[in-house]
Chains A and B, each alone.
Chain A
C-alpha cells in the first residue's frame, strides 16, 4: 500500500496530538484525582426514604470546613428544596433517586451528575462565591421535568 509522504506526516502529527491529549487526561486522573463522578454504591430505591441518611436529606457537618449533603430526587422535586451552605466550605453531595433517572446539576458551580435509581451518585465541590444558586434536573424525567428545580444558598 502506498501512503503519500505528506499523509504519513499528517497522520503522525494527528496521532501525536491525540496521545498528548490523552497524556493530559491521565495526568489529571493520577496526579489530581480529577476524574468524573463514578461512585459505585447501590441502594434499594424502594427503601431510600426509610434508610439513614437519606431519610433526613440535608447537610451534615463532617469537619471544620467540610460537609456531606444528602439529596433525594423524585418526579418532580428535590429534597431538600432549599439548602444553605457556609461560604468557603467543601461539600460532597450524595444523591439518589426514588423512581426514574434524573440529573443533578448546579450550572453556576459545574456540579453535574446523573442520578440513577438503585445507585448513589457523588460529586464534590468547594463553594467560594456567595449567592443563591439554581439546582435543576438536567435529565428528562417526565412531563414536569422543567419544573424540577431547587435552590442552594451559599453564605
Chain B
C-alpha cells in the first residue's frame, strides 16, 4: 500500500470518505435540532410561560435534551471530526471504509433504540440515568451500542495509524490525527467505566438480578462522566489548535506543545470523576480531596492552550504589522463566520473556566451542587464553546465535504453572534438562579409561593429570553445548512489543517508515545480511585430493587 503525506499533513479526501464523515455530522445536526427545541420548551416551562401536556412531560423532554445534545450531538460530531482528521492527514490508496461504516451503523442503531425508549416514556431517567431509577433495558442497551460504535471508530483510527507507521517508519503521526487518537484513547479508557455500569444495569433492568449497588453505579458513571466533558472539549480543541491558525494563515504555535497538552488532558481527565460526588454519602472526604487536587492540575494544559491561542492571534496580527491588544483584536478576520464563531466560543469558555474553579473547590460545592449554577456552567462550556465551535467549523466542513458553497456567509455570521448573545444571557441567568438557590431538574420552581423561590422567577424569565435567542440561532443554522446542501452552488471549498512551523524540531518521542501515556493514565486512576473502591467493597452495601417513578 502506498502512502503520501505533505508537510502540512493535508491531502484530498475521496467522495466516499466524505460521505462517511457527513453521515456522522448529519446525525449530530439532527440531534441538535430536536434537542435545542426541547431546550427552549424547558426554559418556557420553568418560567411558567408554557404548560407541557401530560403525554410529554418535562422529565421525558429533559432526558431527551440531555441525551440528544450531551451524548448524541457531541459524540457524532466528534466521531465525524476525528475520522476526518485521520483520513485527511493520513493518505492511503483504497482505504477500506468498512470499519468506519460499521461503526456508524452501530452508533446509529443504539441512538435510535435509546431515543425511542426516551420519547415513548420508557426511560425518563435523565442523561445521568442514576439507579435505582429503572429504565427499560432497551434504553441501556441502546446507550451501550452507541458506545460500542465509538470503540469501532477508535479501532478505525488505530488501523489507520498502524498503516501510517508502517509506511513512514520513524515519522511522527500528523498532528490532527494525533489529536484525534489521543482523544479516543482517553474516551476508550473512560467508556470502560460506563460499560461496566451497563453490565450491572442491563440484567437488573431485565429483572434477572434483584438489586443494584447504587453508589457503585454512581462512581462508575462519574468515572466516565468527567472525561466525557473533556471528550467534548478536546473535539473543540482540535479545531482551535489546528484549524483556527489555518484561518489566520499562520502555522501551529507549537506542534510539540500541542501534543503535550493533549496527552496531559488524556491522563488528567480520568482520575477526577469524584468531584461530581462531593456531597455523596459513603465516599470518604480524603478521596474527594485527593481528586480535587488532580482536578485542579488540569489548569496547566488549559492555560497552555490559552497561551497557544493568544500567541497565534498575536502572530497573525504581527504579520499585518499590528501590535497591542486592541489592534490585535481588530486585525482578526471577524467577518469570517468560521473564525468569529470560534473566537466567540473561546470568549465564552473563559467564563466556563472561572465557574469550573468554583465547582472544583470542594468546600464551596454545597453552595452550587444541583442548582441552576451547574446548568449555567455547562451551557457556557459544552453548550457555548463546544457547540458553537462545532457549528462554526461546519460552515467550512460541510461545504468542503459536499462540494457545495456555503449558502449565506452573512446569515452564518448572524447565527454565531446570536448563539454567543443567547448563551450569554441564558447562562448568566442560570448562574444567578443557582446562587439564589434554585434547583436544577425541576419542572416547577414556584414551590407553592415559598419566600426563597419568589426570587427565582424573574431570572427564569431571563433564561427563557436567552432560550428564544438561541433557538433563533439554531433556525438560522438549519436554514443555511439545508440551503447549502440542497441549493448551494457547486464549487470547491478548501479545508486545510494548519502546518507546523517548518523550523520546529520534531517533538520528543516520549511526548507522542500514546502507549506510555495510557499506562500513566491507568496508574493515576488506580491511585485516585483505589482508596474509594477499597472502602466501598469493605463496607456492607445494601442492594436496592429499583423503581419506575414516572
Chain A residues in the interface with B (C-beta under 8 A): 1-4, 6-7, 10-11, 14-15, 17-18, 21-22, 25-26, 28-29, 34-46, 75, 99-101, 103, 105, 107-108, 110-123, 131-134, 136-143, 145-147, 149, 151
A2 and B505 within 8 A (CB): yes
CA distance A46 to B277 in the complex (A): 24
Name the one of A43, A107, A143 contacting B59, with C-beta atoms under 8 angstroms.
A143
A39 and B281 within 8 A (CB): yes
B279 and A113 within 8 A (CB): yes
List B contacts of A10 (CB < 8 A).
303, 307
CA distance A114 to B292 in the complex (A): 19
Q: Which of B141-149, B443-451, B523-531 contacts A (4 or more CB under 8 A)?
A: B443-451
Which chain B residue shows the least CB distance to A142? B549
CA distance A10 to B304 in the complex (A): 8
Beyond A15-B299, A140-B59, A143-B549, whether A100 also contacts B284 by CB under 8 A is no
B370 and A36 within 8 A (CB): no
Given contacts A108-B452, A132-B451, A142-B133, 18 further A-B contacts (CB under 8 A): A1-B505, A2-B504, A14-B299, A34-B363, A38-B283, A40-B539, A112-B279, A114-B369, A117-B132, A118-B541, A118-B544, A136-B439, A140-B59, A140-B133, A143-B124, A145-B59, A146-B444, A149-B447
List A contacts of B256 (CB < 8 A).
1-2
Q: How many A-B residue pairs have CB under 8 A?
A: 218
List B contacts of A123 (CB < 8 A).
366
B362 and A11 within 8 A (CB): no
Chain B residues in the interface with A (C-beta under 8 A): 57, 59, 124, 126, 130, 132-133, 214-215, 218, 254, 256-257, 260, 277-285, 288-289, 292-293, 296-297, 299-300, 303-304, 307, 311, 357, 361-363, 365-367, 369-371, 436-445, 447-448, 450-453, 504-505, 507-508, 511, 535, 539-544, 546-547, 549-550
Closest chain A CB from B50 CB (angstroms):
15
List B contacts of A99 (CB < 8 A).
132, 544, 547, 549
Beyond A36-B362, A36-B366, A143-B549, whether A116 also contacts B285 by CB under 8 A is no
A38 and B542 within 8 A (CB): no
B300 and A15 within 8 A (CB): yes
B549 and A141 within 8 A (CB): yes
Name the one of B281, B296, B371, B436 contacting A21, with C-beta atoms under 8 angstroms.
B296
Name the one of A1, A116, A143 contacting B215, with C-beta atoms under 8 angstroms.
A116
List B contacts of A100 (CB < 8 A).
130, 132-133, 546-547, 549
B281 and A26 within 8 A (CB): no
Listed from nearest, the 9 A-B pairs whose CB atoms lie closest are A107-B437, A142-B549, A134-B450, A138-B439, A35-B285, A118-B542, A138-B370, A38-B285, A119-B281
Closest chain B CB from A126 CB (angstroms):
14
A107 and B452 within 8 A (CB): yes
